[in-house]
Each structure stands twice: as C-alpha cells, then as structure tokens.
Structure 1
Amino acid sequence: MSTLTKQDTFQSLLDSASSSFAPIRTQAKETYLTQGLPALKEEEYKFTSIAKKLESKIQEFKSALPFAVSKEDIESVLFEGFDGDVLVFSNGKYLPELSTSPEGITVSSLSQAENTPLGSIAKPEKDAFSALNLASFSDGLFISVPKKQKVEKPILLISFNQANSGQVIQPRVWIEAGDFSEVTFIDHSISQTEDPYFVNKVVEIKGGLNSHVNYYRLQNESKNAIEVSNIHTDIFQDSRFTSVNLSLSGDMVRNNLTLNLLGSNSEGNMYGVYLLNGKTHVDNHTNVDHTIPHAESNELYKGILADQSRGVFNGKIFVRQDAQKTNAFQQNNNILLSEDAIVNTKPQLEIWADDVKCSHGCTVGQLDEEALFYLKARGIDKNTATGLLLYAFAGEVLEKIEEESFRSYAISLIQERLGSKF
C-alpha cells in the first residue's frame, strides 16, 4: 500500500460521495480502503508511480464541480467534416441540454437508468482506481443500443475539463450494444486549464451477439494533467470490438484496457499510438482474455518518444484451457528520439491450451539512418524527412480508424506534432 491512504488524500472525496448507488458504493469503498493505492513494489505499477505523483502534486482531492460550457466551445473542437451526434461533459458530468439525441438509442444519466450492473465488467477488486471511481463518482452516462440497430453516424463524447489543483474529475460511462448492433464512439478530452488536476475515468462496454463496436480515444490534455483510465469490454459470440487509443500529452497517464472474449468467433482489436515529448509519462496496460474456442485478437501499439519522456507498455494475453483454436497477435514498437527518453516494454503470453496460434514481440530503436539519407539525397530537408519517416511509422495504427473525419483530424494533428505537415 502506498503512502496515500484513506486518512488523507481521498478521504474528502469518499465522505462527500452521493447516496445514489449506495450498495455498490459501500462495497467499492471497502475494496479501495483495503487495497490502498498501488505502490512501485506492485508489479502492475512497477514503472508508473501514480501514488507518488499525486502526493507530490496535491495533498488532498475534492470533486471538481461542472462549469459552464457554451455552444461555441463545442463548435470550436468539432473535427472538420464531422457528421454525427455529440454528447457533452463538463468535469465528468453529462450535459444533456448541450448534447444531441442519437436516433434510435437510449442515452441518459446513470442515476436515471435502472439496474445497470456497474462494476460487473470493470471489477473494482482488479484495480484500486476503478474501486475509487465506483465508490465516489457523482453520476455518469448510460448508453444502450437496441438489438439490430445500426447507428450510421459516429457518437462523439466531448469531455471539457477545467479543474483547479487538488480537484478530481471522475467520468463514468456504461455502454450496451445489443445483439446484431453496430456503433462507433469517439472519446475526446479537452483541457481548459493548466492546473494539475486528476482524471479517474471508467468506461464499461458490453457487446452483444454479432455486435460491432468501435471505440476511438484521443488524449491530448494539458502537460500538468494526471490521468488514470479503465476501459473494460465484454464481447460475445460473433462480435467485434476495435479500440484505437492516441496519447499525445499529459503529465502522467495510465491507460488500463481490458478485453474479455466470451464467445466463439469473436474478434478483439486493440491499437494505440503514444507520441511523447517533454517529461510526459504514458503507461499502456492491456489485458486480453481468451476464454472460448475460435476467437481472435490483434494488438499493435507504437510509441515515439523525445526529450525526457517515458513510455510503458505491458500487454497480457491469456489463453484459457478451453480456448482452443485461438489466434492472438501482439506487437509493441518504439522509436526513441533522445538519449534521455525511456521506454519499458513487456509483452506477455500465458497459454493453457495446446491448439493455438499466438505471437508477441517488441522493438525499441532509433530512426533508420539509411532511409533518412535516401530522403535527404532527393532534396528533402532533414526535419521534413524525419517527420515523414515518423509519420509512416505511426500511420499503420491511424489507418485502423474507420471514421473519416476523426482519422483526418488525427493524421493532421500527428503530422503537425512530427513536423511533417504538407
């Protein structure tokens, strides 16, 4: 257990939690108080000392209250060519009055939804931050896509964050995709302050039979923001889930992504790019659990690190004894642009079945000097040539984004960061 305990940093947060969801809150609080925050000696947080970071920045956390968001604020962050619905959050609180109503699906606050099994997918006993969120979040968003409903337009979740030092923002989202449904979500967080606030986010996704769910996420908050996100997904027979996570900024960011393959012929895809500079620290932890025969998972994360930034990748694939005929692929590739940049990468496979096709691997290196020389020899200046090579490296992940306006925005944003805007 870390030095941050129930007696200090999060006590006010726990004490001020609303009375709604009382039974699950009580259990989650007990779980959190038993666990405490993870310390460096714990294997899961070996390279990412979130507790120490929080202690150095902030002594006591309180919930951040929602603030006024205007229509102009929303319009200013929409991607060019975006044609879809928009769900707006202010410091984690859903604002229905500024949101549109996606046709054919149910959207409400969690407090208005009945019998939502919060914590059944993102189990609080698995992670202290998930337990803390469940014990103390104020309210959240409930989304239900009916059976056979194909949502043609993407749904953009815009989170405006404007918290003072010592405040915590705790978004919570529950998504149900019914049997034979299709839906795409884009999760975009926007900082409107430079203070060192803390975001503790939990998203639970349940994909029904033959459902197709895309979940794209862009993290580009202020350099002082500290964030932990837990995104956990259950998918069943013949279903497909695709996640693309782009991490570009923040002080310390921890992304926990868990995918449980609970039906035959299910497919899970997990892709990510982390493009880091300054002293930004991003830790991507992924878990893929194959429990049933004839399922497939694909995982590709790529990192580009400059200055004194630090990246962590820990990907785990579990193939249970009954999960014969499993196909599982995992790869993590990194380019270091500075002698001071660090990456710790640990792909893992645990297999109990004998009729499977599984592979994993990682690479850490620098730019290909021969390729750089080739471009310079054809009249391209060094900065542009470097940017082109780096974009080509990251582009393999960006191509996985099917929604055109967001893909174009992500490409232009990354090209600009890499100095290869053309």
Structure 2
Amino acid sequence: MAILQTAYIEEKFGTLQSSHPNVLLNEVRQKGFQAYQNVGIPSYKNEEWRYTPVSNLFKQSYSFSEKISTINQASVNTFRLPDSATANELVFVNGLYNPLLSNIRSAANELVIISMEEAANDIRFSDILKEHLGKSSLYLQDGIHALNTSFISGGVFVYVPKKVQVALPLYIYHIADTVQNPVLAQPRSLIYLAESAELKLVETYKTAGSSDSFTNEVMEVVVAGNAVFEYYKLQNDIAVANQVNTTHIRQIGKSYVHTVVVTLDGGMVRNNTNIIMETPGNEAHMYGLYLLKGNTHADNHTLVDNREPHCFSNELYKGVMDDATTGVFSGKIYVRPQAQKINAYQSNKNILLSERASVNTKPQLQIFADDVKCSHGCTIGRLDEEALFYLRSRGIDAAQAKAMLLQAFANDVIEKIKIESLRGHIETLIVNRLSVQIS
C-alpha cells in the first residue's frame, strides 16, 4: 500500500472518522485533512523543505498506525532511559498511546495523563482541547503537519494542575514495531501546564525491527503564567528510522521554557521546535546538538515568535558532521511591531570532519520593532589545528585529541541538560561514539 495514493489516504481517513465519532476531534481532523488535500507533501520547491527531501519517504509502502504489535514490557526494558524506575513513563507503539506498557507513578492530583479521546469527553478538559488543540497549524502549514492532524487517534493529553511541581520527570518512549512491515507512526499529544506548575519532559525514539520506520509527531505544549517547562529530546535510532517531529510551545503567561534537542543517529530527521511568546516577560532557552555519522540527515528548524514586549530568548545549536552526513539549521526570530524591549540571541556552529559531509545553515531575524537587542550568527569549519597540535605536543595521540576537542565542543549544549542521569547517559553515548568514530 503506497502512502501517497490518494484513495488509500481517503479510505483510512473515512474509516477513522466513522469508527471514532467525537465532535471535537472529528472537526479538528477534518480541517487537517482539508489542509492536506490543499497543500500535499512538500517538495524541494518549498523553501522550508529545500534541503530535506521528505517527499522521498513517501515512495515507501507503510503499515498505517498499526495496532497489532510484538512490543511488550520486556521490549520496553531494552529502551528505557536511566532512572526510569523513578520517572513517569508513557509508551507510544506505532504512534498510539499504550497505557498497559506505561507507568504513571505521580499521584492523580499531581499529574493527569489520559487519552485524547477521554479528554475531549471530560468536562474538566474539553474546553482546553477546544481552545488549544491544533493551534500549531497556524505556523506549520505543510502537508506533513496536516497529515498528522488528519489522523489524530490514540493521542495523549497531559495536564499539570495549578501550583503543582511534578517531582518525577515524564519520559515518553516512541517505539516503532517494524518486525513485520515498515510503519508510519503519527503520535499526537497536548501538554498543558497550569499557573505556577512545573514539568520536566523527555522524549526518545526507538525502532524495533529492521524495516523502515517513519515517525510523524506533533506535540503541542501550553505554558501558563509562572510555570516552568523543561523539554529534552534524544534521537539515537537505526539508519532506516526517519522522523519529522514538531514541538510547538506556546507561552500564554509569563513563564520559563528550557529545551535541549540531541540527535545522534537515524535516517532522515527533521525537528521543528517553535516557541511562541504570547505574554510580556516570557523567557526561553533553546539548545541543540547534532553529532552525525553514516548517511544521517538532520534538519533543525527553530522559531521564536516575540508577540509581546520584554521577552528574552537565547538559542545555541551545534553540529558535527562526519562521513556522508548532512546537517541543516534554519532558525527564525520574529519580533512583532508591538514587541519592544526584546532581547533575542541565536547562534549556530558547525564542524565538518569529512570531505563528503555538508551543512546548510540559515539564521534569520525579522524585526518590526525599533527598541530591541537581537543578534544571530553561524560558523562552519574544521577542528582547530592549533588546539590539535597543542594536545599532540603533550603526548596525546591524534584520535584521542580529536575526541577531546569534539567532546568540549558538544559540552556547551550537553551541560544544559538539567536532569543529571540523562546528562550522564548522553555524555556516555557521545564518548562511546567518538572513541569508535575517531579511531
């Protein structure tokens, strides 16, 4: 079954709408499907996808959000992050939330986690969904995002009540079961932090099987006044695991957001990380590291939209490309006319280790206010020969010297991970990678 066939898409959409009748979700899905029909899958002619040929993925035949799976608790154990026994764990299999494989350890009055369908029918949360579900489509108007919205099913709603500081982090595992067939997974989630709430969230991705996987994810996050949201993404999958991931964060009250995205391995990986500052005084920090080998293609698109005055944002993304890898960075900072007194900084730094590796970087500022402090910049280069010579002159061999310099380069991002066990885990992955890659 070829995913690009219109008849196949229409059949699956019609089946979903009739088998999961819900006025709210049906309406959101219908709008998404109309958008998908209008714009289709983006090609290289679309400026936002110029360097990432996502249309090539749609030449593959996929099983569509397959519910039948071989994944069990033993399977999940092989993917678990460190200190998982003291974390809340959500498991998505082929894009569908699986409560039987998940472990919610926080009390129900501290952290609410229910299916999207339950939330739509719950008087406590239905208004939140009506107001906030699907707002990312105002910024992402391509067919990939619309396809996810068209097939919202098996998603999850996470709610942190007012003044609750969730002590345990929330780990989300996205597992694609490709033992039988290639799989297209489309997880969807809506996270809502009420006033003065705090949440740490970690996402990671694994493919169980050797066939191709394509994860097309959309996570929408709403952060109310005085809330604190920490977000971490770790991508370390197999070479035939492809992803288009959107994390759309709206700061609807004066709040604090901190994000770190680390991409180590995979096939074609696209990350859309958007922060929309809708209230004066918002603060956001965005960090990213793409440390690539083989043929991995990693594309990081970021957006900071300053809609109100007195906001602050700081952004640092770093990339290391080896072998025949490709890195892409496109960062946008918008400053609206009414958003005076903005401080916004953006930096992208890249190192090429191979003649076959490449990087495309495009930092952008669009400023329509006159009383702001904004800067952006990018660098592309090789390892510092003087630093290498210095280390070699101290008796350190070439491979170890290169590894030390690359670890130091990556550390500017990794040190921003505030969950100690996660930071240590990623540091170990990087050290192991470099010890093999540079030798």
TM-score range, shorter chain: over 0.9
Q: Moved runs in structure 1, 4+ residues, more than 6 A?
A: none
Out of 75, 78, 82, the residue aligned to residue 76 of structure 1 is: 78
* Unpaired runs of at least 5, structure 1: none
1:88 to 1:53, Cα distance in 2 relative to 1, 3 A: closer
8 Å CA contact 1:249–1:280 kept in 2: the answer is yes
Q: Of 111, 114, 128, which residue of structure 1 is paired with 2:117?
A: 111
Q: 2:142 aligns with which of 124, 127, 152?
A: 127
Tell me the equivalent position of 1:288: 304
User: What is the rounded CA distance, in whole Å, between the counterparts of 1:285 and 1:256 in structure 2?
Assistant: 5
Greater Cα offset, 163-172 or 41-50 = 163-172
| Equivalent position amino acid for 2:403 in 1 | G
Compute the displacement of 1:229 (Å).
Answer: 0.9
**1:7 equivalenced with 2:3 (yes/no):** no
Distance 1:285 1:9, change over 3 A: farther
Match of 1:87 in 2: 90
**Secondary structure of 1:126 counterpart:** coil
**1:343 equivalent in alignment to 2:359:** yes
Q: 2:48 aligns to what? A: 44
Contact 1:272 1:301 in 2 (8 A): yes
Q: Are the equivalent residues in 2 in contact too, given 1:391–1:420 (CA < 8 A)?
A: no
1:22-421 aligned at under 5 Å gives the runs 22-55=26-59, 58-59=60-61, 62-82=64-84, 83-101=86-104, 102-103=106-107, 104-114=110-120, 115=126, 116-117=129-130, 118-123=133-138, 126-163=141-178, 164-419=180-435
Asked if the contact 2:341/2:371 (under 8 Å) is kept, the reply is yes
Per-residue deviation, residues 340-397 of structure 1 (Å, max 9, x unmatched): 1000000000000010000000000000011111112212221111111001001100
Alpha-carbon contact 2:265-2:292 (below 8 Å) kept = yes
Partner Cα separation in structure 1 for residue 144 and residue 325 of structure 2: 24
Question: CA 1:86–1:342 in 2, change beyond 3 Å: closer, same or farther?
Answer: same
SS at match of 1:39: coil
Q: State the match for 2:123 in structure 1.
A: none
Deviations 1:143-200 (A, max 9, x none): 0000100011111111221135443111111100010011100101111112112111
Give me the whole-angstrom Cα distance separating, in 1, the residues matched to 2:12 and 2:184: 9
* TM-superposed deviation, 1:15: 4.2
CA 1:414–1:9: 2 relative to 1, 3 Å: farther
Equivalents in 2 of 1:207, 1:54: separation in Å? 34
Provide the rounded CA distance (Å) in 2 between the counterparts of 1:302 and 1:215.
18
Q: 1:293 to 1:284 in 2, by over 3 A?
A: same
Distance change >3 Å, CA 326–CA 9, structure 1 → 2: farther
Q: Please give the alpha-carbon distance, in whole angstroms, between the structure 2 residues aligned to 1:88 and 1:403.
A: 20
| SS class of match (2:337) | coil
The two structures, once aligned, show a CA RMSD in angstroms of 2.0
Structure 2, unpaired ranges of 5+: 121-125
Contact kept? 1:13, 1:61, Cα under 8 Å: no
Counterpart Cα distance in 2 of 1:142 and 1:302: 32
Q: Distance in 1 between matches of 2:3 and 2:44?
A: 13
Q: Write the distance in 2 (CA, Å) between the matches of 1:112 and 1:202.
A: 19
How many pairs are equivalent? 417
- Residue type of the partner of 1:240? Y
1:9–1:268 Cα change, 3 Å: farther
The amino acid of 1:362's aligned partner reads: C
- Corresponding residue SS for 2:225: coil
AA matched with 2:73: K
Answer with 247-256 or 114-123: which moved more.
114-123
SS in 1 for 2:100: helix
Distance 2:314 2:252 in 1: 16
1:210–1:236 Cα contact (<8 Å) kept: no
Q: For 2:426, what is the secondary structure of its paired residue?
A: helix
Which piece of structure 1 moves more, 6-15 or 228-237?
A: 6-15
Residue type matched to 1:79 in 2? L
Tell which deviates more after alignment, 72-81 or 373-382.
72-81
- Give, as a single letter, the amino acid of the residue that structure 2 aligns with 1:109: S
Report the secondary structure of 1:353's partner residue: coil
Deviations 1:81-121 (A, max 9, x none): 45322112211222222222222111011111022232123
Cα distance in 1 for residues equivalent to 2:407 and 2:15? 46
SS at match of 1:107: strand
Structure 1 residues 178 and 100, CA gap change in structure 2 (3 angstroms): same
Amino acid at match of 1:154: P
* Cα pair 1:18 1:138 within 8 Å, conserved: no
Partner amino acid for 1:41? Answer: K
CA change 1:17–1:167 in 2 (3 A) is: farther
Q: Residue 347 of structure 1 contacts residue 360 of structure 1 at CA under 8 Å; is this kept in 2?
A: yes
AA paired with 1:130?
H
More off after superposition, 64-73 vs 211-220 = 64-73
TM-score, normalised relative to structure 2: 0.90
